[in-house]
């Protein structure tokens, strides 16, 4: 099978932006932004069609539709061992917007925020946009109090973690979550846990930070685990109803400058309530991920990898004599495969010496991309 026929190629070429098919030259395969090439469940599109039948889209609830927030509460109970209440949930215009709202609400110029390094750029970007100084702590699968405690001073206001972690692919054990909860309590810090990847966990059940730290704030989204990136649907979950109301007030939700499309919430509810929408969407991605790991482990030694416990991205170490920016430029131009370079602007300074490969595609696309990369390694003599 031609790799292009294994995915909705023409649709993606015209519509998939953010470093993906619509933004690369013809014949380049983008294994870049964390977004899928495979269709989501038709249960979701059916729900969108049904919700449009009245030809009416009145203003929705400022906090988010009750059906969406209830579905999210049930989802957290069923799959993240976390009991939250509907009034603790604020529907947001994507996970990214939830991080930004939280940062604008809690951070002031002069504050310091501790985040892992490397980590997805959004954590540092949103904190800096709110005027805070970002202090980076080496990201480790096992959380170490001493690494974080030495960075605390009187200006330290908050900790933001990424759980599961993009790009390293770990998710914290219960012990780590308890230690993080104790740490923020001891130092009286705000805590935000970005859990947008929490539906893509491969090794053991996921536990939300909320389970161990009722004061924590959690970011959630349906872009990764359900393939709904373009619908911009996510949530900010807070400790209690009052805290959520305070964010809504400070960020403009009560004045209609914020708020999520009601149609996106319909899709979100359908996804969260369906028995199969999530697992059917994730199963082929998991297969491609496993297949990619197998080929990378058996057919080359240019990239080093640690198989991830979660996410569909691979964080690949590269030979020390290579700069990741230059490597990615050469791979795009010569091998016709685009990866994300481990540059500080994407992941922080701790990303040096790595590239990131997304595996949210068909096995055929991935095989074509890997064949091109391996061939490039062989023929360029590296
Ligand atoms: C760790 C992390 N947080 C937030 C986001 C943003 O997700 P969304 O597109 O749903 O806003 C991403 C996207 O890749 C991510 O990796």
Enumerate the H helices of 21-65 as residue ranges: 42-52
In three-state secondary structure terms, 336 is coil
Pair (227, 369) in one structural domain = no
| Tens-digit pLDDT profile for residues 152-177 | 999 999 999 999 999 999 999 999 99
Pair (297, 320) in one structural domain = yes
Pair (53, 110) in one structural domain = yes
Supply the CATH number for residue 264's domain: 3.40.640.10
What is the 118 CA–ligand 1 centroid distance (Å)? 15
Helices (H) and strands (E) in the chain, counts: 13, 13
Query: What is the C-alpha radius of gyration for the chain, rounded to an integer number of angstroms?
Result: 21
Pair (296, 262) in one structural domain = no
Domain count, the chain: 2
Pair (256, 243) in one structural domain = yes
Pair (373, 286) in one structural domain = yes
Pair (99, 184) in one structural domain = yes
- Residues near ligand 1 (Cβ within 6 A): 34, 94-96, 120, 122, 162, 166, 194, 196, 221, 223, 229, 234
Bin 45: left if φ > 0, else alpha if -120 < ψ < 50, else beta. Answer: alpha
| Tens-digit pLDDT profile for residues 328-341 | 999 999 999 999 99
Predicted pLDDT of residue 148: 98
| Tens-digit pLDDT profile for residues 85-115 | 999 999 999 999 999 999 999 999 999 999 9
Supply the CATH number for residue 287's domain: 3.90.1150.10
Tell me the mean pLDDT in the region 128-135.
Answer: 98
For ligand 1, atom 14, which residue shows the shortest CA distance?
A: 34
Pair (36, 71) in one structural domain = no
| Tens-digit pLDDT profile for residues 270-329 | 999 998 999 999 999 999 999 999 999 999 999 999 999 999 999 999 988 899 999 999
For ligand 1, atom 13, which residue shows the shortest CA distance?
A: 34
Structure tokens at 212: 């161990």
pTM of the prediction?
0.98
Average pLDDT, the chain: 97
Predicted pLDDT of residue 1: 72
Pair (63, 173) in one structural domain = yes
The residue segments making up the domain with residue 160 are 47-273
Pair (343, 359) in one structural domain = yes
| Percentage of the residues of the chain whose pLDDT score is greater than 70 | 99
For ligand 1, atom 6, which residue shows the shortest CA distance?
A: 96
- Among 273, 300, 328, the domain boundary falls at 273
For ligand 1, atom 15, which residue shows the shortest CA distance?
A: 120
Pair (175, 256) in one structural domain = yes
Q: Which of 119, 168, 172, 221 to mutate to test the pocket of ligand 1 (most atoms within 8 A of CB)?
A: 221
Pair (132, 242) in one structural domain = yes
- Among 273, 299, 332, the domain boundary falls at 273
Residue 311 CA: nearest ligand 1 atom is 16
Residue 381 pLDDT exceeds 80: no
| Tens-digit pLDDT profile for residues 32-63 | 999 999 999 999 999 999 999 999 999 999 99
């Amino acid at each position: 099978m031609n790799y292009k026929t294994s995915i909705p190629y023409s649709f993606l070429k015209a519509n998939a932006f953010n470093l993906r098919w619509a933004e690369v030259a013809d014949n380049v395969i983008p294994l870049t932004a964390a977004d899928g090439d495979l269709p989501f469940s038709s249960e979701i599109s059916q729900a969108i069609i049904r919700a449009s039948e009245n030809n009416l889209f009145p203003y929705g609830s400022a906090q988010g539709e009750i059906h969406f927030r209830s579905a999210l509460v049930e989802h957290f109970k069923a799959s993240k061992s976390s009991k939250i209440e509907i009034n603790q949930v604020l529907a947001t215009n994507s996970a990214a917007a939830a991080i930004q709202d939280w940062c604008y609400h809690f951070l002031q110029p002069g504050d310091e925020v501790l985040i892992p390094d490397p980590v997805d750029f959004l954590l540092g970007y949103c904190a800096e946009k709110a005027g805070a100084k970002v202090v980076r702590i080496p990201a480790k699968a096992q959380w170490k109090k001493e690494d974080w405690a030495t960075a605390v001073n009187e200006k330290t206001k908050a900790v933001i973690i990424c759980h599961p972690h993009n790009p390293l692919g770990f998710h914290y054990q219960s012990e780590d979550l308890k230690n993080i909860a104790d740490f923020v309590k001891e130092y009286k810090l705000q805590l935000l846990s970005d859990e947008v990847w929490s539906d893509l966990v491969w090794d053991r059940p996921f536990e939300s930070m909320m389970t161990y730290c009722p004061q924590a704030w959690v970011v959630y989204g349906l872009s990764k685990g359900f393939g709904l990136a373009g619908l911009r649907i996510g949530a900010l979950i807070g400790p209690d109803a009052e805290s959520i109301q305070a964010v809504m007030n400070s960020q403009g939700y009560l004045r209609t400058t914020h708020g999520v499309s009601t149609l996106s919430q319909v899709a979100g509810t359908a996804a969260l309530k369906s028995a199969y929408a999530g697992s059917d969407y994730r199963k082929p991605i998991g297969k491609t991920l496993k297949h990619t790991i197998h080929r990378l482990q058996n057919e080359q030694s240019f990239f080093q990898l640690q198989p991830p416990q979660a996410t569909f991205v691979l964080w690949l170490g590269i030979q020390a004599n290579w700069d990741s920016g230059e490597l990615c430029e050469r791979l795009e131009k010569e091998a016709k495969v685009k990866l994300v370079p481990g540059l500080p602007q994407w992941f922080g300074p701790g990303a040096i010496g790595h590239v990131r490969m997304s595996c949210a595609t068909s096995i055929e696309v991935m095989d074509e991309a890997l064949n091109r990369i391996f061939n490039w390694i062989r023929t360029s003599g590296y």
